[in-house]
Amino acid sequence: MRTFLYFLLFMFLAVVVILLAALLGDQGAWYFAWLVGTAMIVLISAASAALLDTQEEHAAGHVAGGTRKPL
């Protein structure tokens, strides 16, 4: 149920952004691309941080165990 509510929220936000793009005219596409690009940068940064934390934990676990295995 929570996932469905998130879906509805994001669909609502997408409709609002598309309507704003239509109302803004020529500059609407630029604002839409800016919002999508900013969201992608934030998501990629968060995924990279999670991957780095996982790699550090994985490396620390092998060092503490006495044997270091390659990733």
Residue 28 and residue 22 in contact, taking contact as beta carbons nearer than 8 Å: yes
Tokens standing for residue 30: 């630029």
Which single residue is written with the structure tokens 């060092």? 63
18-47 mean pLDDT: 85
Q: Which residue has the higher pLDDT, 18 or 64?
A: 18
**pLDDT at residue 20, as a whole number:** 80
3-state secondary structure of 71: coil
How far apart CA 6 and CA 12 sit, in angstroms, is 10
Q: Which residue has the higher pLDDT, 39 or 34?
A: 39
How far apart CA 12 and CA 40 sit, in angstroms, is 19
